[in-house]
Structure 1
Amino acid sequence: MNTSSTTQNPIRHEVEIQVTREMMIKAWRAWFFKNEHWLGLSLAVLLIGIGVCMDLRDGILGSFSIISLTLLAMGFFIYVGGYWMGRSRAITKLESIIEGKARYTFTEETIQAESSLGSMTLGWAALDEVRQYEDLILLGFRGASYSTLPKAQLTPAALAFLLERAEVNGIKTRGF
């Protein structure tokens, strides 16, 4: 029986960050427009446009063109409305955090976040994506939520550890 008293200190990286309104708007824009379906949407708009142009050769729009344009307009307004509502929610959430300050702790097993709103501890499996967008690091959690970390406020060791844990856990990384 081995009774060695060697204990390993768990790896732990703590960072304090402060997110500004401008950072939050930039992060929301990056998160909202990350949609990878732009090619399909562009193709659909192009096909509807061609169909409408062909229909206009007779000088009058047919039923199919009117329905297509109506659906296209409705989709556009829903998309724009979704952007503004989400942006407003992100800013409201930031404004409820005192001075936009939070503390993140990364360990081998968990990600912990603390702010004036409270704290949460999640396993790495809760993270879906780590993405760099300009000077921000976005942590995308399963369930369509994300956290914004200003890259300049992370220590190089904490960022390297975050990326290493992402790789070990099969989490997508982009923009690095």
Structure 2
Amino acid sequence: MNAKPYVISIAAVSGGGKTAVTNELGSKLKGSKKLFFDDYEFENSPKDLIEWVKEEPDYDQWDLEPLISDFRSLLETKETPSYIILDYPFAYKNRSMKSYINLSVYIDTPLDVAMARRFLRDHKNSSSSEIHNDLKFYLDNGRDAYLEMETIKSNSDLIIDGTLPIDKIVNIILQILP
């Protein structure tokens, strides 16, 4: 029987560095596999993120079965990975995933830095009105979702400064892994 993989979840606000850290960490850890929360459609989950946040979020309302199914299939492969890295925003807050995670990392990125990264990433060819609308939506609604991530931060094992370069963040994680 194969050894159980060590599971690392990486959380941050949008633009906080989750995907970059997950990819870089995966390139450093031999025999690792990566799963990305944003690659999934969670049909039986809250449809309106803003309303969900406003109504005191219950992370167990998210039916993570598609992600969990892929996760379990990694455990059943002939060569079980040594590490599974999850680009996953909930840390230990969803009970269906909680028991699988060995280390929950929170990348603590200031909201202004995260927003600047998002705009550089998502608005390369946007008009000024599209940028204006995105900023207005953030101020009117989206900021609450960003602030909700503080509860994820407090539910994480390791908190790392999100203004550090990606390689430094990854090296901090590598230093504490078994």
TM-score by length of 2: 0.29
Higher Cα Rg, which structure? 1
Tell me: higher relative CO, structure 1 or 2? Use CA pairs within 8 A at least 6 residues apart: 2
Report the structure, 1 or 2, having the larger strand content: 1
